[in-house]
Structure 1
Amino acid sequence: MNGFRNLSLKQLKEFKPIITRNLAWFNRQSNKQSFGTKLKRRLRNLLIVSVIGFGSYYGYRNYKNYKWHKELNESNESTGTKPRIVVLGTGWGAVPFLKHIDSQKYEVVCVSPRNYFLMTPLLPSVSVGTVETRTVIEAIRTLIGPRIKYVEAHCVDIDPKLKIITCNTNEKGTVSRGDDIKTIVVQSKRESGASSRIIKDSARTRPQFDMKYDILIVAIGSSTNTFNIPGVEEHAHFLKEILDARRIRSAISDAFESAMTPTQTEEERKRLLHFIVVGGGPTGVEFAAELADLVREDLQHYYPRLVSNDVKITLIEALDHVLSMMDKQISDYTEKHFHRENIEVLMNTFVKAVKQREVIVQAKGSNEQTSIPCSVVVWATGIKSHALTNRLREVIGLNIQSNRMGILTDQYLRIKGINDGSIFAIGDCATIEQPKLVDRIQLLFEEADTQHRGALDLQQFRSLVERRINEFPQLEMFSKKIEEVFKQADKDKSGYLSMERLHSALEKADTKIRALPATAQVASQEGRYIADLLNQLPDLTIKNYQQYNLKPFRYKHMGTLAYVGGDSAVLDFSGTKPILDLFNLKPLSGRGAAYLWKSFYFTEMFSGRTKTLLAFDWIRTQLYGRDISRY
């Protein structure tokens, strides 16, 4: 060992002069280089990197343009040679479908009066300037690419027998609420200088046309429900379109500027600065929270006296708590948080009328009506069907389409009453019909009783559940505990279930039937499901999907979240059983939930452009505040 150590030291001594000479060479080279030489070398390297970078970018852009035009030409050449799918709408149901449908297999045409996708959950942020309008919209042509054709048109009628849709009329009709601004004629009376004005031109012309389809996807959404309350349509702001958010933003600015007029009375100032939100769901709660943030973080600096003395925000809810679809713990947290944020919450209160300068309300259990002076009312309550939805229900027959809230579909999202199954409906305009087990108890019992003894044993009951679970989703509550359910139903411990005992067990399952909520989450999953379904379908004439092992739609709830102001949010995992079982997640609230809320909506943005804009908007708001100008 000592000899080996000595040998190693000797070798090191031999290598030392060589290492010293090499280091000296590097040092000599470094010392000899002048500043000009170093600068030239670095500039040369920068030039090489720049040329390679710009060359790669130029090549990539040329390749993208080439690919785009190639796909566009292929799409034009294949027109009429493939089955045509017509999609009505550009919302949360339509866009996921358009992004995942196989455009090589089908000719796909999108028809909608709105030529962009709108990130509706961020509209409350847009209405106060936290997020800018261009951040929450993306051109539909950018999202779907050249293989799918887009036509900006308003569908007014559907003929299921001839498989034809009729689009546009010369009659007066709005594309979206307030989008008929060019139909208003205002005479220009400018004496000097340029000024923006409302004019009537001939750019927007929509002649009527018909279009044939093989498959029709109805994804037209819904409109705001006013519940026929007087004055809502005329005096309340809705929050479903980008124009609604812009109007609300202008109205808030108008209210504060009007309150600053020197001759305003104190009573009038308080009325001008009283903002009312009707509806305690996620939209109403998030708007009230965003408005409170705007007042506290930005308007406080510019209107300190008004904010301290006159500003008031009131949220009106007909139920006994806000965010009723979430866990009670979250509702309680939101109400306490709103109290800290100086947002008044009137629960168990009904709006009886909305006037230009006041809202008439009535408390539950009281006959007395109260007037609340205000300037801005935001209506964020429920939804109702579009005119086209009602028209399609009438064409099919109201005895078949008996649900006034939307179009009834089967478990595969095919519209009920269309015999060839050529029309699907998704999103807010549709409701999945959930068949009840007890209505078919006789057939189910006879089918399961293979030995004809008038009773079912455990194996027959298990077979019944497994065979019928796709048709009756409520049987999922039995799937993981079949033996336990069987024992509970078998009260006489005989080991068999009579029809009466089976009826009792299935009746419990029917109580779990719930209509899916009208949310973006549901519509997005439905759109993706139909795209995958049609991609797998070998032939459009097939009606029996079960024969080809095509599974019906199953909604997977991923949780509910809402922003409640003050950099706080709430997150509810109720209904997400697999996630709850795996991670033991409980309702979240506070600043940590706000980070999850932001990260979720950031990832939900459909393009890199909107993701970048959203991130910059949030940073801009933190650094410089919100833009309070009216435009």
Structure 2
Amino acid sequence: MIPRCIQRSSIALQQIGTRSRSCPHGLRCLSTSPTPTPPDPSPFSRYGRKAAKYTAFTCFSAVLGLSVVVGGVFIHDVFTYSDKHIDRVPVSPLALHPERGGPKNLPVASVLVGDEDDAALVAVKDKPRLVIVGGGWGAVSVVNSIHPSDYHVTVVSPDTFTTFTPLLPSAAVGTVTVRSLVESLRKIIARVHGQLINGRAVDLVMSERLLEVETVSVDGETRNIYVPYDKLVIAVGSVSSTHGVTGLEHCFQLKTVGDAQAIRRRVIDNFEIASLPSTSEEERKRLLSFVICGGGPTGVETAAEIYDLCQEDIINYFPKLLRKEVSIHVIQSREHILNTYSEAISKFAEEKFRREGVELITTARVGEVRPDRVIFTTKVPDTGKIVEHTIPTNFVLWSTGISMNPFTARVSSLLPNQVHKKAIEVDAHLRVKGAPQGDIYAIGDCATIETSLVSHLLELVEEADRNKDGNIDFDEWQIMVKRIKKTLPMAATHLEKVRTLFDLYDSDSDNKLTLNELAVLLQEIGNKITALPATAQVAAQQGKYLGHKLHLLAAKRNTLLSNELPADADEAVTGPFNYRHLGSLAYIGNAAVFDLGRLSFMGGLVAMYAWRSIYWSEQVSMRTRALLMTDWVLRGVWGRDLSRL
């Protein structure tokens, strides 16, 4: 039989415009009817179809992902509602009825109520007692750096939370909420199975290793107890320095969450009262006058936040007259604001404030603060004459340096050779000078590392003087320099030119330094060493260093049969504390500045977002990070909350 395709091919050959197609029999067959070739689609239509498909896929993925997240949140929420029963809670009788002791015959909290709650707490109950006084940057860094099984940890703090203090100026005007800046101390110390005593440290009995703590009972009465310790870490921070100025009870400070809340209430109250028809023009100007005493980071950031509040919220929701009559004044005793930063940063901030109408009053001294005004003096450059000025105001922020916390002052008074007026002196290993070695440490704003080298003169000479002639030649001086750098790393930058220093103080050019010449040399080097700044960065690094040291000490104790550490155990496990400056930053109103040592960076929105990113990453928990990000988004969409709660 002839295949049908061959029969059809004879007919198809006669047709013009036909097209070929494949034949199942291996022959080339022709279609009986021509099929028109579709025109090539436009490249724009092809891209449009692809874009539509991609958009549809993206939207579907986003909706699906959001549904999964929302569903996961609801499922997680369901499982948080649990019905737990507590039966037969083990409590030591000594926790409920503590024994009395110490010089004042007070209850001694040798056993705490929660020491026998579970197996983890029971496991650390007999460990060495580590008591941390304070709940700030230094204290939290220590807790985060030690291991859970190292110590029986007790934190003594008047607050039950830790605060991210660098963002308090933002909380003071409602840019962020205070809830986003705090984290429960109990949640933080739960990692090391620690316990919290909500109280205030007031005294110390070093001979019996007892810390006196003032607590408040349910009826409002104060009751003092003793908390025993094996190692004590003092991290209580500082208070603002008064500089002898009267009337500071009329000022606000900005160190705690309560300070930020009080400032926010006063700022909103001032604007509300100023908007009333019954308020006179003079009174309105006084209410809208904001005075910041101190040109450091806290003062500058508060002034910038108040300016942002006026520009972004007050101008939209209050009468325009109020924004016109707002005045912001920054009073600084030095020649420049942000004087601890680079000169370029100070000038950048000053120029920005001048453009925005923020009044900068430099080289001025505040003499008195009254309920309705601030009185300060300036010196005329040419004549040196002192001129007194007055600014009517209903808001004064005092941010001019630090002073000793009352507990810090009490500890300092108990110790010999504690001559520093602003903090407790510690050595390079952060041990309190004069206290039993290895028992008490101090970190953060309440402590300052000694910078005197003369006090180590005899031991340095004894170690370096090899021929025991009482003089130090150049080779012995090199040995001494290495020892000084190891003992006090802060002096390293002043000992780089070893030969130059030696020749400079070798007055008789005999290639030897006498004890007198050496004493003068060490004295002048000590005077050049700058104390570490009282910043959160310093406290955090010291806390991390001390936590690591305490962990190594605990590990070494476990390897000793006697369970007793030698006196020089600190030097054996770690070297001295060496601060590494990672840079300083400050917010100056929709802009930020960064001082990174030799490099300075300043700018507008890009710098501001970099500033936010750094502070966001430094938060103590993911909870506060989420809340902080939410606050910034809400401020950008709906503005600040202008209600007074």
**Equivalent in the alignment of 1:428:** 445
Are 2:180 and 1:135 equivalent residues in the alignment? Answer: yes
Q: Report the counterpart of residue 132 of structure 2 in structure 1.
A: 87
Q: Give the whole-Å Cα distance in 2 for the aligned partners of 1:443 and 1:401.
A: 20
Identify the residue that residue 601 of structure 1 maps to in structure 2: 615
Identify the match of residue 394 of structure 2 among 371, 375, 381: 375
Normalised to the residue count of structure 1, the TM-score between the two structures is 0.78
Q: How does 1:190-589 map to 2 (within 5 A)?
A: 202=218, 207-233=223-249, 235-364=250-379, 365-396=384-415, 399-437=416-454, 441=457, 444-445=460-461, 447-451=463-467, 459-477=475-493, 482=498, 496-499=511-514, 506=522, 509-537=525-553, 538-539=556-557, 541-545=565-569, 548-565=572-589, 567-574=590-597, 580=598, 585-589=599-603
**Alpha-carbon deviation of 1:329?**
1.5
For CA contacts below 8 A with separation 6 or more, give which structure has more relative contact order.
1
Between 256-265 and 288-297, report the one with greater CA deviation: 256-265
Q: Tell me, yes or no, if the aligned pair for 2:374 and 2:390 is still in contact at 8 Å.
A: yes
Q: Which amino acid letter does the alignment assign opposite residue 535 of structure 1?
A: H
For residues 51 and 264 of structure 1, the distance between their equivalents in structure 2, rounded to whole angstroms, comes to 51
* Gap change, CA 1:498 and 1:433, over 3 Å in 2: closer
Count of residues in correspondence between the two structures: 541
Does residue 152 of structure 2 align to residue 152 of structure 1?
Answer: no
Paired residues of 1:489 and 1:497 also in contact (CA < 8 A): no
Q: In structure 2, what residue type is equivalent to 1:551?
A: G
In 1: Cα distance, 2:428 partner to 2:569 partner: 11
Question: Is the contact between residue 275 and residue 322 of structure 2 (CA under 8 Å) also seen in structure 1?
Answer: no
Q: Any unmatched runs of 5+ in structure 1?
A: 1-13, 15-41, 172-201, 575-579
8 Å CA contact retained: 1:75, 1:148: no
Larger radius of gyration: 2
Quickly say closer, same or farther: Cα 1:319–1:214, change in 2 above 3 A.
same
User: Deviations 1:122-171 (Å, cap 9, x if unpaired)?
Assistant: 00000011111100011111222251111212222211111111222569
Pick closer, same or farther for the CA change 1:83–1:256 going to 2, 3 Å. same
**CA gap 1:148/1:441 in 2 versus in 1, 3 angstroms:** closer
Give the Å deviation of 1:313: 0.6
* C-alpha displacement of 1:483: 5.8
Distance 2:592 2:73 in 1: 44
Distance 2:69 2:487 in 1: 61
- Preserved contact between residue 474 and residue 509 of structure 1 (Cα < 8 Å): no
Number of the residue aligned with 2:157: 112
Distance 1:410 1:70 in 2: 34
RMSD: 3.5
Residues 323 and 475 of structure 1: CA distance in aligned 2, closer, same or farther (over 3 Å): closer
Conserved 8 A contact 1:85-1:214: yes
C-alpha distance in 1, partners of 2:550/2:69?
47
Measured after TM superposition, the shift of residue 550 of structure 1 is 2.2
Summarize deviations over 1:209-265 as a string: whole Å, max 9, x none. 2211111111111112222322112x1111111111111111111111111111222
1:479 Cα deviation after fit: 6.3
Counterpart of 1:512 in structure 2: which amino acid? K
Supply the AA of the counterpart residue of 1:215: K
CA distance in 1, matches of 2:595, 2:474: 37
Letter in 2 for 1:113: P
Residues 347-384 of structure 1, C-alpha deviation per residue, up to 9 Å, x if partnerless? 11111111111111111344442221111111111111
Change (3 A) 1:529 1:62: farther
Aligned 8 A contact 1:90 1:116 in 2: yes
SS of residue in 1 equivalent to 2:624: helix
Q: Is the 8 A contact 1:474 1:510 kept in 2?
A: no
Deviation, 1:445, is 4.6
Inter-partner Cα distance in structure 2 for 1:169 and 1:113: 9
Q: Give the match's secondary structure for 2:580.
A: coil
Q: 1:307 to 1:487 in 2, by over 3 A?
A: same
CA deviation string 1:325-359 (max 9, x = no partner): 11111111111110112110111111111111111
- Where 2:588 maps in the other structure, the secondary structure is strand
Instruction: Give 2:640's aligned residue.
Output: 626
Query: Unmatched 5+ residue regions in structure 2?
Result: 1-25, 27-60, 85-113, 558-563
Distance 1:421 1:443, change over 3 A: closer
- In structure 2, give the amino acid aligned to 1:513: I
Percent identity, please. Answer: 36
Distance verdict in 2 for CA 1:603–1:474, change over 3 Å:
closer
CA contact (8 A) 2:254 2:399 kept: yes
Range 366-375 or range 85-94, more displaced: 366-375
Structure 1 CA distance for aligned equivalents of residues 292 and 70 of structure 2: 57
Whole-Å Cα distance in 2 between the matches of residues 415 and 597 of structure 1?
35
Q: 1:302 to 1:57 in 2, by over 3 A?
A: closer
